[in-house]
């Protein structure tokens, strides 16, 4: 609408307008309950209906098998960097990490406190622009799991398919924070999937963990109770007070994704948006450049630089004037980054592409 900007932020990020409006209409008095979702007991029947529907809609969206638990937790994806080794490893267990960007690196570093992780592949020397070929990956058969970051938010590299874990338990674990629910995923290929909500599915404060139930119950003794999956599974994410309002918002977004026809349809839209943006970059005769290898370019986060890097600040400023905001790249890599999550409409990407062409014509 007229008073909204196109928000290309990496997260917290833009949310579906229709669901914001719905939340607005329910803010003061949720469906005749006489109170806001923010004011409800997390143990009351109203909130229970909200969290149960959120879970069942998410299960429908991702086709999550019965053998997996779905948890709505707090602490961000960052907490999971510790919770995963604490729950799935003993202190001396080896684990394998493929590091395709800053987030995978952070996950690896945190795991060093709780198990014995190795980086079996790192894209750092190539500035995190690639994903390794799976054939060449030397995995440790004794590793407890293989960890990947399915989409690196800062560097814009995304796994298009997934490596087969060669460890004894065949466990693959993925941080899907920045591409969660952007496309269908075969959950049964994973031991555990985790994601912060604040990119594709809701506000910050909710962290979703999808974990195979048979992996639960072996947490290290030092595991804080809030990090113990068993506690959260046994209590249906209600061991303590959950982020109620955030879970409610995620539920609205899941409803919206289902109404759009599910993740296959959502993926089609995401492919189209990414395509026109990457095309604009690639067809700019080098005025714009995306450093990421073509086959692994992210559908969600599109980093690009300007050949004339001194124009970058001007680009961001002029775009903001036209109500396209948050286009500055992450401070660690510079340049530009357009995050085009599910809720970014095609019209937003089209407007950005038109602006890029115009900017180039004026500055080439
Ligand atoms: N993993 C990825 C891929 C991310 O993009 C982020 C946040 N940008 C995180 C982990 C950390 O998430 P949080 O801030 O929710 O802890």
Mean pLDDT of 170-181: 97
Mean pLDDT of 87-94: 97
Mean pLDDT of 330-359: 96
**ipTM of model:** 0.99
Looking at the DSSP assignment, which residues form a beta bridge with residue 70? 210
Residue 98 pLDDT > 80? yes
If pLDDT is split at 50, 70 and 90, which confidence band does 333 have? confident
> Ligand 1 test: best mutation among 101, 151, 176, 178, most atoms within 8 Å of CB?
178
The proportion of the chain whose per-residue pLDDT surpasses 90, expressed as a percent, equals: 96
Residue 1 pLDDT > 70? no
How far is residue 235's CA from residue 357's CA, in Å, rounded to a whole number? 53
Residue 137 pLDDT > 90? yes
29 CA from centroid of ligand 1 (Å): 32
The verdict on pTM exceeding 0.95 is yes
What's residue 196's pLDDT?
98
Q: Exposure pattern of 26-39 as b/e (b: 16+ CB <10 Å)?
A: eeeebeeeeeebee
What's residue 332's pLDDT?
86
Q: What is the pLDDT of residues 196-212, one digit of tens each?
A: 999 999 999 999 999 99
Structure tokens at 292: 């990421």
179 CA from centroid of ligand 1 (Å): 11
Structure tokens at 236: 């249906």
How far is residue 72's CA from residue 311's CA, in Å, rounded to a whole number? 43
204 CA from centroid of ligand 1 (Å): 10
* Ligand 1 proximal residues by C-beta, below 6 Å: 11, 76-78, 103, 149, 153, 175, 177-178, 196
Mean pLDDT of 89-106: 98
How far is residue 77's CA from residue 95's CA, in Å, rounded to a whole number? 19
Atom 4 of ligand 1: nearest residue by CA position? 177
Atom 14 of ligand 1: nearest residue by CA position? 76
Mean pLDDT of 138-157: 97
Please state, rounded to an integer, the average pLDDT across all residues of the chain: 97
Q: What is the pLDDT of residues 244-302, one digit of tens each?
A: 999 999 999 999 999 999 999 999 999 999 999 999 999 999 999 999 999 999 999 99
| Beta carbons of 155 and 99 less than 8 angstroms apart | no
Mean pLDDT of 344-349: 98
- Ligand 1 atom with the smallest distance to the CA of 80 is 16
What's residue 2's pLDDT?
72
Residue 127 pLDDT > 90? yes
Crossing angle between the packed helical segments 76-88 and 102-111, to the nearest 10 degrees: 40
How far is residue 274's CA from residue 292's CA, in Å, rounded to a whole number? 13
Going by their DSSP bridges, the two strands 192-196 and 116-122 should be labelled as unpaired
Residues 6+ apart with CB under 8 A from 83: 75, 209, 223, 227, 229
What's residue 160's pLDDT?
97
299 CA from centroid of ligand 1 (Å): 17
By C-alpha distance, which of 178, 186, 191, 189 is closest to 151?
Answer: 178
Q: Which residues are catalytic?
A: 103, 175, 199
Residue 222 pLDDT > 70? yes
Mean pLDDT of 18-46: 98
């Amino acid at each position: 609408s007229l008073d909204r900007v196109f928000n290309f932020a990496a997260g917290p990020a833009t949310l579906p307008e229709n669901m914001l409006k719905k939340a607005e209409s329910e803010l003061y008095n949720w469906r005749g309950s006489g109170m806001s979702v923010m004011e409800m007991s997390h143990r009351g029947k109203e909130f229970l209906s909200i969290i149960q529907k959120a879970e069942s809609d998410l299960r429908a969206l991702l086709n999550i098998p019965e053998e997996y638990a779905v948890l709505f937790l707090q602490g961000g994806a960052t907490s999971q960097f510790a919770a995963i080794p604490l729950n799935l490893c003993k202190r001396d267990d080896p684990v394998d990490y493929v590091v395709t960007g800053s987030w995978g690196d952070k996950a690896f570093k945190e795991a060093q406190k709780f198990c014995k992780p190795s980086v079996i592949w790192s894209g750092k020397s190539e500035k995190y622009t690639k994903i390794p070929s799976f054939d060449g990956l030397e995995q440790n058969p004794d590793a407890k799991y293989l960890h990947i970051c399915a989409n690196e938010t800062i560097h814009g590299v995304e796994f298009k398919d997934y490596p087969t874990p060669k460890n004894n338990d065949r466990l693959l674990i993925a941080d899907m924070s920045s591409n969660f629910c952007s496309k269908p995923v075969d959950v049964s290929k994973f031991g555990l999937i985790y994601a912060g909500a604040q990119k594709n599915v809701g506000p910050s404060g909710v962290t979703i963990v999808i974990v195979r139930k048979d992996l639960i119950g072996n947490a290290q003794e030092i595991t804080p109770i809030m990090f113990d999956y068993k506690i959260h599974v046994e209590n249906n994410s209600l061991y303590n007070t959950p982020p109620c309002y955030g879970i409610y918002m995620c539920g609205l977004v899941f409803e919206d994704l289902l109404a759009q026809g599910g993740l296959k349809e959502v993926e089609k839209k995401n492919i189209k948006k990414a395509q026109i943006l990457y095309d604009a970059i690639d067809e700019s005769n080098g005025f714009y450049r995306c450093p990421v290898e073509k086959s692994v370019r992210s559908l969600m986060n599109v980093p690009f630089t300007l050949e004339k890097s001194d124009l970058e600040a001007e680009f961001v400023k002029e775009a903001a004037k036209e109500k396209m905001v948050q286009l500055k790249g992450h401070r660690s890599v510079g340049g530009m980054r357009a995050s085009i999550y599910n809720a970014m409409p095609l019209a937003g990407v089209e407007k950005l592409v038109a602006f890029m062409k115009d900017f180039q014509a004026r500055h080439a």
